[in-house]
């Protein structure tokens, strides 16, 4: 279903997306070699007919080249292709960046390969956005911030999301609304379902099972003979009814954001402005994940590569950057001395707890006992009004991008915080 049409229907129940990076290795090569864009690129094997194709660009696919194809076959089909051995450190670097973008939206991410990840983006009390809006934003950010494209499938289960992600490539978004799983899956050939290998496909086809609708109602004995102990799981997948959860690697224990600067910072005002910008990103991600933090930490790496860090307890816990900013000055004083040259800054929030109901009036601008930050001037005394301001700025950033609006001190240095950014959605 088109995104615009899907938005007209309220989402009910789980929302699982599968993000698949389009022709990932080849796309990275075309990103790093602009002169190769629009040309057939093959990664893996070599032009002397050794090895197999790891992946290829969409331009090469028009010649019939496919992943896992013998190199000599690919050479025959596309003699003018550009062959690349592969740069796996570079691929892992961009993969981590993409996973960080997904982590900005949800802590429930299951990376299944270097170029694929499931994510649970089910609406919650804290974040009520339609999942299709979230998926489209992730897709846009991958293209704009990483420079490559991805295709996304969105549905109520992992199997539906997986099948949907292959429906519209490259740079497609296929939305399967809850309740329409059988209608979507039924007519599709059984080969699209994960778990139906070559041997299973042959046996099922010989028995007259050709579509997922056929598989959903296939004879139990046939299913058992083909899939063994996985028979009922495969039937559930064919019906779009599998309830497997996102297998996150670990519980989310912290949210952090770091920036490495192209030019060192040595003025306190500039460092404070950069920290305020980073804090804003961390607080925004806390709100998206439905967490408040009890501990705030600052990290600095000097020009000589030495690293220092300090942390402070936050009372009460908060997801409000205007309140948390009160701790930045005292934390900076613990790790930095005037005129020291800073190459990297980081802000981490930990000691996380689930966001409580908002009917509690809190003294969000109580200052730490050992001093107050110059960046912490309370803009609005009423917590409800201040929450309204923060909610409004979040909405503006969701719609127009992260650079759409800044609070106070962050404006001073926003142009100097666009260096190499490493994001850690769940540092643990």
Task: Catalogue the E-assigned strands of 15-89.
Answer: 16-21, 41-43, 55-56, 82-84
Check: CB of residue 237 under 8 Å from CB of residue 159: yes
Catalytic-labelled residue, pool 35, 105, 116, 258 = 116
> Residue 134: in which H helix or E strand, if any?
helix 131-141
> Residue 152: in which H helix or E strand, if any?
strand 150-155
Region of residue 337 (left: phi > 0; alpha: psi -120 to 50; beta: else) = beta
- Residues 49 and 171: their CA atoms lie apart, in Å, by 31
116 belongs to the catalytic site: yes
Can you tell me whether residue 350 is helix, strand or coil?
Answer: strand
Please give the structure tokens belonging to residue 199: 């041997």
Query: What one-character-per-residue DSSP string does 302-323 give?
Result: ETTS-EEEEEEEEEEEE--HHH
Number of Cβ within a 10 Å radius of residue 113: 10
- Separation in Å, CA 263 to CA 145, 167, 184, 339, 402: 21, 45, 52, 14, 22
- Separation in Å, CA 73 to CA 46, 189, 404: 11, 27, 50
- Residues 298 and 328: their CA atoms lie apart, in Å, by 8
Please give the structure tokens belonging to residue 112: 């299944």
Query: What one-character-per-residue DSSP string does 320-341 give?
Result: -HHHHGGGHHHHHHHH--TT--
Can you tell me whether residue 51 is helix, strand or coil?
Answer: coil
Alpha-carbon dihedral sign for residues 62, 68, 70, 75: positive
- Residues 114 and 94: their CA atoms lie apart, in Å, by 9
Query: What one-character-per-residue DSSP string does 404-420 give?
Result: S---GGGGGGGGGS-SE
Q: Which residues pair with 342 in a beta bridge?
A: 265, 302
DSSP state of 9: S
How many helices and strands in the chain, by DSSP H and E? 16, 13
Kindly list the catalytic residues: 116
């Amino acid at each position: 279903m088109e995104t615009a049409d899907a938005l007209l229907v309220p989402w009910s129940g789980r929302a699982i997306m599968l993000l698949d990076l389009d022709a990932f290795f080849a796309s990275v090569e075309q990103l790093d070699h602009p002169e190769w864009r629009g040309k057939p690129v093959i990664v893996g094997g070599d032009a002397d007919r050794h090895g197999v194709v790891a992946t290829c660009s969409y331009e090469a696919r028009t010649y019939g080249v496919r992943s896992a194809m013998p190199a000599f076959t690919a050479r025959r089909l596309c003699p003018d292709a550009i062959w690349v051995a592969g740069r796996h450190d570079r691929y892992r670097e961009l993969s981590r960046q993409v996973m960080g973008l997904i982590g900005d939206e949800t802590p429930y991410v299951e990376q299944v390969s270097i170029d694929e990840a499931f994510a649970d983006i089910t609406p919650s009390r804290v974040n009520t956005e339609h999942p299709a809006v979230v998926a489209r934003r992730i897709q846009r950010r991958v293209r704009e911030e990483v420079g490559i494209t991805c295709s996304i499938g969105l549905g109520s289960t992992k199997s539906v999301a997986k099948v949907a992600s292959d429906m519209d490539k490259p740079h497609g978004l296929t939305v399967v609304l809850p309740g329409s799983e059988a209608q979507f899956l039924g007519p599709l050939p059984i080969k699209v379902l994960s778990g139906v290998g070559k041997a299973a496909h042959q046996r099922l086809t010989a028995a007259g099972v050709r579509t997922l609708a056929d598989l959903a109602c296939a004879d139990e004995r046939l299913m058992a003979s083909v899939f063994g102990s996985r028979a009922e799981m495969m039937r559930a997948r064919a019906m779009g009814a599998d309830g497997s959860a996102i297998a996150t690697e670990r519980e989310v224990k912290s949210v952090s954001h770091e920036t490495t600067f192209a030019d060192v910072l040595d003025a306190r005002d500039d460092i404070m402005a950069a920290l305020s910008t980073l804090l804003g990103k961390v607080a925004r991600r806390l709100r998206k994940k439905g967490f408040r933090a009890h501990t705030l930490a600052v990290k600095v790496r000097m020009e000589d590569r030495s690293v220092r860090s300090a942390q402070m307890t936050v009372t009460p816990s908060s997801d409000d950057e205007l309140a948390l900013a009160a701790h930045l000055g005292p934390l900076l004083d613990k790790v930095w001395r005037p005129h020291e040259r800073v190459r990297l800054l980081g802000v981490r929030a930990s000691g996380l707890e689930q966001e409580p109901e908002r009917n509690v009036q809190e003294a969000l601008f109580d200052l730490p006992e050992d001093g107050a930050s110059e960046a912490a001037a309370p803009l609005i005394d009423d917590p409800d009004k201040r929450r309204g301001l923060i909610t409004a700025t979040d909405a503006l950033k969701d719609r127009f991008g992260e650079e759409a609006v800044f609070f106070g001190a962050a404006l001073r240095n926003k142009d100097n915080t666009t260096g190499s950014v490493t994001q850690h959605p769940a540092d643990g």
